[in-house]
Amino acid sequence: MTEPAFIPFARPDIGQAEIDAVGRALRSGWVTTGPETRAFEQELAAFLAGGSASAGAGADLHAIAVNSATAGLHLALEAAGVGPGDEVIAPTLTFTATVEVARYLGADAALVDVDPVTLNIDPARIEAAITPRTKAILPVHYGGLACDMVAIHAIAARHGLRVVEDAAHALSATWRGSQIGTLASSATVFSFYANKTMTTGEGGMAVTRDAALAQRMRVMRLHGISRDAFERFQSRTPAWYYEIIAPGFKYNMTDVAAALGRVQLARLPGFAQRRRELAARYHAALTGLPLILPADAPPGDVHAWHLYVIRLADEARVTRDAVIQALSDAGIGASVHYVPLHRQPYWRDCYGLRPEQFPVADRAYQRMVSIPLFTAMSEAEQDRVIAALRAVLR
């Protein structure tokens, strides 16, 4: 008997159209930031605008393509004026990229606990963490479920704080009918890392409605140069002349990545639909097991389903590690999102953090497993995951 094929936790969905587009970009003679990147930025802004309930929500959207979401978060905080001594408030249940960028700028991260139902940052905890040094709130739309942005924007307005959304999981998610990326935050940052809801290999996009922030991010994306290479190439003024107006970064997206991204973006509605179908199938099949299933979006809103995170309920008689081992024995990949930052040596020791300060995230962490969810997953593959979970949890 042959072993059934290994089912990974995630797998990018790349077809011939992506391969053709990358080939065209390579043959075009302009492989770095250029026409493909411009088009990708415009198409992403149009996608966000088109998917929003409020008329004209995206008309003034600026999209800045970068080589990772981490770069985009760094640019967004820099442009928002976060600097030495400032504090940014973020959830502990996230990837380190959310807050490492604050440290790049000499600022501090104030980590807070999450809501037990959504696992998103708890607005009440944000309020309690505000100090005179607080400059920004960094909500993370965990797993692709939008945070309570009404509550977060209200707190930000009351205290004069910036909001920068870490939307690494949330491209195609909505909040109160509007696409994440079109809300009244300073900036929103998407990731196109290999396992996200669409990919450019590595890449990200910062989106803002603030023209001044957009301009600053564009300049800082490429060495602090006042005009990028493609602009100079196209312009009537001499192409060799440029001005350095700040010590910027090297965060631009290549046209090779953007060409891949444009095809992925065109397929995104289909990807999102497939993720919703797979999540609904998991919901139906796993109900009744000793599990806490991930919260769906509120009625009328859309969950991006980057992750499907199950948590062991009190009645479960197995440990999280035993579940992951059983899945592994059945040829199924799983993961944990995340070892909360308060348990990571750097963050723990930087701020003297203890698990008791984050009871919800800490308990969730002990009991959580991210199970396979990717667009190319077949129902037969999903049924194998379901059967393996039933066997270990029965």
Ligand X SMILES: *Cc1c(COP(=O)(O)O)cnc(C)c1O
Of 97 and 219, nearer to ligand X (C-beta) is: 97
The residue from 196, 306, 320, 342 that is catalytic is 196
Alpha-carbon distance 141 to 16, whole Å?
31
Contacts 24+ apart (CB under 8 A), 106-109: 107/77, 107/82, 107/83, 107/135, 108/133, 108/351, 109/341, 109/347, 109/351
Q: b/e string for 281-316 if b means 16 or more Cβ within 10 A?
A: ebeebbeebebbbbbebeeebbbbbbbbbbbbeeeb
Of 61 and 90, nearer to ligand X (C-beta) is: 90
Q: Which amino acid is at 323?
A: V
Interface with ligand X, residue 172, by CB under 6 A: no
Q: Which amino acid is at 142?
A: Y
Interface with ligand X, residue 191, by CB under 6 A: yes
Which H helix or E strand runs over 291? Answer: strand 291-292
250 is catalytic: no
Q: How far is the CB of 190 from ligand X (least distance, A)?
A: 8
Interface with ligand X, residue 204, by CB under 6 A: yes
Q: Restricting to residues 121-140, name those near ligand X by CB under 6 A.
A: 140
List 148, 166, 362, 381, residue binding ligand X (CB under 6 A): 166
Four-point Cα dihedral 209, 212, 218, 224, nearest 10: -160
Span from 109-117, 165-173, 230-238, 318-326 in contact with ligand X (CB under 6 A): 165-173
Q: How far is the CB of 91 from ligand X (least distance, A)?
A: 9
Q: How far is the CB of 166 from ligand X (least distance, A)?
A: 5
- With contact defined as beta carbons under 8 Å apart, do 135 and 162 qualify? yes
Interface with ligand X, residue 193, by CB under 6 A: yes
- With contact defined as beta carbons under 8 Å apart, do 104 and 351 qualify? no
Q: How far is the CB of 340 from ligand X (least distance, A)?
A: 12
- With contact defined as beta carbons under 8 Å apart, do 308 and 370 qualify? yes
Q: How far is the CB of 189 from ligand X (least distance, A)?
A: 8
Q: Restricting to residues 42-101, name those near ligand X by CB under 6 A.
A: 68-70, 94-95, 97-98
State whether residue 265 is helix, strand or coil: helix
Interface with ligand X, residue 200, by CB under 6 A: no
Of 34 and 204, nearer to ligand X (C-beta) is: 204
Cα angle 11, 13, 15; round to 5: 140
Of 112 and 289, nearer to ligand X (C-beta) is: 112
Q: Site for ligand X (CB under 6 A): how many residues? A: 14
The DSSP letter of residue 4 is P
Q: How far is the CB of 196 from ligand X (least distance, A)?
A: 6
Give me the active site residues, please: 196
Q: Enumerate binding residues for ligand X (CB under 6 A).
A: 68-70, 94-95, 97-98, 140, 166, 168-169, 191, 193, 204
